Amino acid sequence: QVQLQQSGPGLLKPSQTLSLTCAISGDSVSSNSAAWTWIRQSPSRGLEWLGRTYYRSKWYHDYAGSVKSRITINPDTSKNQFSLQLNSVTPEDTAVYYCTRTSFHRDFDYWGQGTLVTVSS
């Protein structure tokens, strides 16, 4: 059974960097059939796919255009986890952030517990 455990701060000021980590158990961040993804949810924007990292003989990263200039998703093979960094946050980045596994079928079959991140001065 795959489990994803999120960690990271929930309160940021504008212009700071959002940093979240997702620890994986029951699978490997280096899996050749999965991708590791961040999704956020807010009342104003709904569910929004942010990006993913995955390993297919080498590491790949895909990011949503809406955050491409500010986002980094990195794997950490030594700790079997992956992270999200979002620079220069604004109140519009206030949302619940989820880490997920994208399966072989390209669905999000396992989700972290979610982290409410609030950006406020």
Partner 1 sequence: QSVLTQPPSASGTPGQRVTISCSGSTSNIGNNYVYWYQQLPGTAPKLLIYTNNQRPSGVPDRFSGSKSGTSASLAISGLQSEDEADYYCATWDDSLNVYVFGTGTKVTVL
Whichever of 16 and 108 has its CB closer to partner 1, that residue is 108
CB nearer to partner 1: pick between 8 and 16 = 8
The least distance separating partner 1 from the CB of residue 78, rounded to whole angstroms, comes to: 26
Q: Should residue 112 be labelled a site residue for partner 1 when binding is judged by CB under 8 A? A: yes
Contact stretch for partner 1 (CB under 8 A) within 15-23, 37-45, 70-78, 82-90: 37-45
Which window, 19-27, 72-80, 84-92, 112-120, contacts partner 1 (CB under 8 A)? 112-120
89 within 8 A of 15, measured Cβ to Cβ? yes
Rounded to the nearest 10 degrees, how much is the dihedral formed by the CA atoms of 12, 17, 18, 23?
-130
Instruction: Describe the chain by its helix, strand, coil percentages, rounded to 5.
Output: 0, 55, 40
At residue 99, the 3 state secondary structure works out as strand
